[in-house]
Chain A
Amino acid sequence: MNLDINVDYAIKYGFKSAEDYVFKSEKGLTNEIVEKISEMKQEPQWMRQFRLKSFEIFKQKKMPTWGPDLSGIDFNSIHYYVKPTQQKVKSWQELPADILKTFEKLGIPEAERQFLAGVGAQYESEVVYHNIRKDLAKQGVIFLDMDSGVREYPDIVKKYFGTVVPPNDNKFAALNSAVWSGGSFIYVPKNVHVKMPLQAYFRINAANMGQFERTLIIADEGSFVHYIEGCLPLGEEVLTSNNLIEINDVKEGQKVLNSNGEETLVKKTMVRHYKGELIEIIPISVSNRFYLTPEHPVLVIKRSKVRRIKRKNRNLDDVDNKKLLDAKPEFVEAGKLEKGDFLIFPISKVVKEDESISDELLELLGYYLSEGFVTETNKCDTVVFSFNLKEIEKINHLKALIRKLIGKKAGEVKIEKKHSINVYVYSSELASLCEKYCGKHSDQKMIHESIMMLPPERQMNLLKTYYSGDGSISMKKSIKIRACTTSKILAYQLQQLLSRQGIYASINIREAFKEKIKDGREIYHKKRYIIYHALNKKFNKVKKKDGYFLVPIQKINKKFYNGNVYNFEVLNEPNTYLVKGFAVHNCTAPVYNSDSLHAAVVEIIALPGSRVRYTTIQNWSSNVYNLVTKRAFAHQNATVEWVDCNLGSKVTMKYPSIFMLGEGARGEILSIAFAGKGQKQDAGGKVVHLASNTSSLITSKSISKDGGRTIYRGLVKVAKRAKHTKSNVRCDALILDEKSASDTIPYMEINEKATITHEATVGKVGEEQLFYLMSRGLSEAEANALIVRGFVEPVAKELPLEFAVELNRLIELEMEGSVG
């Protein structure tokens, strides 16, 4: 992954443009925005009314006065998630160090990561979706995203939507009701048992997923369904991280170039969780593709504004060249870009002369980049250049350069078999020069910063000799000049260097492959980057203008993503930076940007005799306020089970509840909370017994560590005339170090004869247990992890296998270094 950090180097060149805040005026959640959401979703009138009514309630409702501190939530900045035309965090950056480390420590090696990505990709593809859906549809099961549910099954949805969690339940339920988007809609017909769990991966496939998803599950009489939510976010992040391999890892205080090359510092980097659509923009030069969230503004010239003729069918409109060259680039949201629009590829104007680098050295380095390598022979650093037998002119040139630079005479070895001549020189001076300025191994070659900033005419020395080596010319329709390298960084650097020469070069990738040679020996070709450009081309799609190229978009793809998105703010004007060389806007709302809000609503209706199980593994990144309202109605003899694992987020407030409306209903809540550094896990469960002979069981296991705080907040309520009810609550908390804390706040409201028990313990890992395990040869850390795993076992065993495995891994990970 280190590779990618270097890529951004070639990318961060500034671009000047006027401040153009089209988005500023749309701040704040308003009726119009709520209506617009409804309109975009083409919802029926009743849903629109529902949203607007909910919005009114949202405005009136007060924030909860109890529980964790929620003052970090600024509703005026959170509406971005709802309304994509808002200006927000935008750049896809690489995974941050801590998440990356998580993967490494999870023991997912690169190969497995790719495998997992594959798995994830499968989940994301339509095929899997349809396969399972067919399977379910045969049984009459409806399983859709909530938006489609509203459109396709208005009767059922209208009957149940908002009946379990009405908008006036709490402020966040009201907010969700007003702006909800996505989520699942499940209807299981009478007596149908859905044997396989339904997984929330589907939900991610649904269009326009926001942070406010809404799930409605209706289990008709005698049916059974198991729904798994949230899936394994780690896996998903891996999945996308692999796609985002080109994305940069920018650090605060890092220098980036901008505004015609003035160096500026990255003021602030921002991370937020994002779940939803991601725009992939592919310009001419496929490997310069980049990913953005739909609302991220990109500097472009819209083709529609500079067209000469409007074409029908699929053809792109013809462009009026004069108009195009006169047009002023503007910011357009990534989601609104179309094929054919012109991206801005600025040409770096940073020039910093470095006298210590002579023209001769540049020429030599050009040879080195294309043909050279450093090795050690007889304990002497040796620089070797390999040429074809015919390239005598170049060999002589190189020898002259070497003599001039270091005063040594280079030797020659002919290798007839390969038709090549190796020019070698024993010189640690030259070896270190080459390594310093150009890197060592062929796939890690890169050009030193000081060379990248030299005046273009000087850089030409390097390009000339480089192209004489690795370059080739094809003369089909036009003169195409190509160069080929296995170093990704070098490819992008060459693109930059060429742009300074006034040439827009494309980069294509040829994947690694094995070639069979006749004697059966296999030759392995590494992944190669081909940089090519055409000369004297009659119709060049890419136009050059003062200071930048206009590069048309070849293709736009959309994909779904659930994970962190990154953006950074630069110190000086203009507020732009470059992604893969293309200009995009930087972020403008820094204050609360780093915290995001996830306020989902889940409603379950378990009709007589049915059974619904809902499993969640929540592992949000540590900047998410996770405020979820989950409630189920259990009718006669129905069973509802919540299995809830809260591992991530900054603050979680989540109390899955079960209202037992019919006789003989049963409810079970299993909850695990793990609070690490800076986290507050305010979780628990509520059971309300409204009918006779109902029973409930709540088991809560919480672990706090590194200053985290777990809070169990629960309610057991037995209503009048709900006779012979039974409820058992057991909450155990483990505090692993002195900094951490745990609260238990159970409410018991018993209004009828009943058998209600509640038990809670708080403590640390037992000394005796530790001693016993350690006496058996386990290290303290291992023993601790083992005990914690045993502690959560009653809940973990209820999880599907892969989730249990994941949970154990996560616990092990969280436990690492817990013993001090």
Chain B
Amino acid sequence: MIDKIEELSKSNKEPLEILKYRKESWNRFLQTDMPKDDEWKYTDLSSIDFNKISFENSIEIKAEGCVKKLDHDLLAKHLQPGKNKIELFNDALFSSSIIFFIPKNANAKIDLKITKQNLAKIFFIVEGNAVINEITSTSDFTILQTDIFLSENASLQYNILDNSGKANIINEKKCYLNAGSNASFNFALFGGNINRLKIENFIKENASGKIKGMFFGSNNQHFNISTSAIHLSQSSVNDILIKGALKDYATSSYYGGIEIKKEAQKADSYLADHVLLLSEDAKANSIPSLKIDANDVRATHGATVTELDEEQLFYLMSRGIERKQSEYLVLNAFFNETMNNNKEIQKLLEKKMVK
């Protein structure tokens, strides 16, 4: 594999520094076991096959109002050593690497389409305003690591829509929010075999990180959702709302961490996670954790795992609506908050619900 890494690095014309990083990552990859910590403890990773991998660069990009560049020095600066086997794998073998730079006062709109297998590292350096739409519809093992740096008072909206086939998808976002900036993530996950989405917000003073997301699983799908809000300094705000529904044999694992550091007094942090189990064989695991080192804060989380409310269904059915349709209506209402009136998402939901 070392040969391949060298070849890859050469064809990308990378400096030695990056090659060294790749090689080190590879060595560590070989020595590391699959992750078993709280984020991963409910996820069966045996279907992840690191051997079936190709090295194409296959992200479709449509970008306005920003500078897209491949600056190896800048890239080298931002590369961080991975924390687990999967991350290390991508560190060693990522084939796409893109850096987007959104200048001050610019209003950027970026569409990313991932349709094929991919090992990618993407960086956004946002000084102005950015709206990013990321659409995944891949059917092969994909790892996507995105690091986002928000300068002071920058703003970001990041929409993720996933409708992949039966593929294992690892999608990890790290977002650094400088003072006064705000980031808002919306996601809707429908596809994938193991579909992992991690969003980590590091929030500084007066910055605000919001995550609103939904997932809907059927068959043997497994969703591994992890959201973390790390409050680094004063008056930082975090708001997370996750909704999910699972039918058939689908399972989910949700890890929601809120961490408030000592310096982050007056932080306001909220996390809610609601999962509906639509079948007897569906499983939901949830670890909403709080780690609070400051006292003058508000940190709250709520988590529920429930089934569809029979009374609501009964009401609808008494009005002459069929059970299936009633279920869809109730579900639609359940997800309403997280869909943002997005027609495409509604369509996908309906399609998947009825199927």
- Smallest CB–CB gap between A25 and chain B, Å? 43
Cβ–Cβ contact B290 & A738, under 8 A: no
Contacting residues, chain B, for A753 (C-beta < 8 A): 277, 279-280, 282, 307
Query: In the assembled complex, how far is the CB of residue B233 from the closest CB belonging to chain A, in whole angstroms?
Result: 14
A747: nearest chain-B partner, CB-CB: B287
A238 to B63: give the CA distance in the assembly, Å: 76
Tell me whether A259 is interfacial, beta carbon within 8 Å: no
Q: How many angstroms from the CA of A751 to the CA of B300 in the assembled complex?
A: 25
Complex Cα distance, B301 from A762, in Å, reads: 9
Interface string of A762-773 (1 = CB under 8 A from B): 111000000000
A763 engages B297 (CB within 8 Å): yes
Which of the residues B283, B286, B302 comes within 8 Å of A759, measured between beta carbons?
B302
Q: Mark B272-310, 1 if CB is under 8 A from A, else 0.
A: 000101011111111111111111111111111111000
Which residue of the partner chain, among A742, A752, A760, contacts B280 with CB atoms under 8 Å? A752
Chain B residue at minimum C-beta to C-beta distance from A734: B295
CB–CB B292/A735 < 8 A: yes
Q: Are B302 and A750 in contact (CB under 8 A)?
A: no
Within 8 A of B (CB), among A715-761: 720-721, 723, 733, 735-738, 740-761
Interchain CB contact (< 8 A) of B301 among A741, A743, A744, A751:
A744
**Cα–Cα, bound, A753→B310 (Å):** 12
Contact between chains at B299 and A751 (CB < 8 Å):
no
Report A507 CB to chain B, min CB distance, Å. Answer: 55
CB of B262 closer than 8 Å to a CB of A: yes
Q: Is B149 an interface residue (CB 8 A)?
A: no
Q: Which residues of A have CB within 8 Å of B280?
A: 721, 723, 752-753
**What is the interface size of chain A, counting residues whose CB is below 8 A from a CB of the partner?**
33
Residues of A within 8 A of B294 (CB): 735, 738
With A737-B295, A750-B284, A762-B300 as given contacts, are A755 and B306 in contact (CB-CB < 8 Å)?
yes
The smallest beta-carbon distance between A603 and chain B, in angstroms, is 27
Is B42 among interface residues, defined by CB-CB distance under 8 A?
Answer: yes
Contacts A753-B277, A754-B305; A745 near B289 (Cβ below 8 A): yes
Are B277 and A750 neighbours in the complex by a CB distance under 8 Å? yes
In the bound complex, how far is the Cα of B294 from the Cα of A735, in angstroms?
8
List of B residues within 8 angstroms of A741 by Cβ: 291-293
Given contacts A748-B284, A750-B277, A750-B285, A757 and B295 within 8 Å (CB-CB):
no
Collect the chain A residues with CB atoms within 8 Å of residue B290's CB.
733, 742-745, 760, 762
Please indicate which of the listed interface residues A753, A754, A759 has the most CB atoms of chain B within 10 Å of its own CB.
Answer: A753
Contact partner of A748 (CB less than 8 A), chosen from B262, B287, B293, B296, is B287
Asked if A758 meets B304 with Cβ closer than 8 Å, knowing A750-B284, A752-B280, the reply is: yes
Distance to closest chain A CB from B39 (angstroms): 12
Picked from A749, A750, A760, the residue with its CB within 8 Å of the CB of B288 is A760
Complexed CA–CA distance, A737 and B292 (Å): 12
A763 touches B299 (CB 8 A): yes
B277 CB contact (under 8 Å) in A736, A737, A754, A762: A754
CA distance A733 to B298 in the complex (A): 11
C-alpha spacing A723/B279, complex, angstroms: 11
Smallest Cβ-Cβ distance to A726: which chain B residue = B306
Query: Which residue of B is nearest A727, CB measured?
Result: B305
A760 touches B304 (CB 8 A): no
CB distance from A230 to the nearest CB of B (A): 28
Q: Is the CB of B296 within 8 A of A746?
A: no
Q: Which residues of A contact B298 (CB under 8 A)?
A: 761-763
Is the pair B284, A760 in contact by a Cβ cutoff of 8 Å?
Answer: no
B contact residues around A747 at 8 Å (CB): 285-287
Q: B292 is contacted by which of A742, A758, A759 (Cβ under 8 Å)?
A: A742
Decide: B292 and A743 in contact? CB cutoff 8 A. Answer: yes
Partner of A764 from the list B284, B291, B297 (CB cut-off 8 Å) is B297
Contact among B281, B295, B301, B306 with A735 in the assembled complex (CB-CB below 8 Å): B295
Contact between A733 and B287, CB atoms less than 8 A apart: no
Kindly list chain B residues whose C-beta atoms are within 8 Å of the C-beta of A763. Answer: 297-299
Given contacts A748-B285, A762-B297, A763-B298, contact A757 B292 (CB under 8 A): no
Contact of B302 with A757 in the complex, beta carbons under 8 Å = yes
| Chain B residue, CB-CB nearest to A729 | B303
Interface residues of B in 38-82 (CB under 8 A from A): 38, 42
CA distance A753 to B302 in the complex (A): 18
What is the CA–CA distance of A483 and B275 in the complex, to the nearest angstrom?
84
Task: List residues of chain B with CB within 8 A of the CB of A752.
Answer: 277, 280
Question: Are B305 and A760 within 8 A (Cβ)?
Answer: no
A750 neighbours in B (Cβ, 8 Å): 275, 277, 283-286, 305
Closest residue to A766 on the B side, CB-wise?
B298
Alpha-carbon separation in the docked complex, A733 to B301 (Å):
12
Contact: A740 with B307, CB < 8 Å? no
- Which A residues are CB-close (under 8 A) to B306? 754-757
Which residues of chain A are near B42, meaning CB under 8 Å? 749
Looking at the assembled complex, report how far the CB atom of A727 sits from the nearest CB atom of chain B, in whole angstroms: 9
- Distance A759 CA – B304 CA, assembled complex (angstroms): 8
CA distance A743 to B304 in the complex (A): 19
- A754:B289 contact, CB within 8 angstroms: no
List the 7 shortest-distance A-B pairs measured between CB atoms, nearest first: A744-B290, A735-B295, A748-B286, A756-B305, A758-B303, A762-B299, A753-B307
* 10 contacts across the A-B interface (CB closer than 8 A): A735-B292, A738-B262, A742-B290, A744-B301, A748-B285, A748-B287, A748-B303, A756-B306, A760-B300, A764-B295
By a beta-carbon cutoff of 8 Å, the part of chain A in contact with chain B is: 720-721, 723, 733, 735-738, 740-764
Listed in ascending order, the chain B residues whose CB lies under 8 Å from chain A are 38, 42, 262, 265, 275, 277, 279-307
What 12 additional pairs, Cβ within 8 angstroms, besides A763-B297, A763-B299? A742-B292, A743-B292, A745-B287, A747-B286, A748-B286, A753-B307, A754-B277, A754-B306, A755-B305, A756-B304, A757-B304, A759-B300
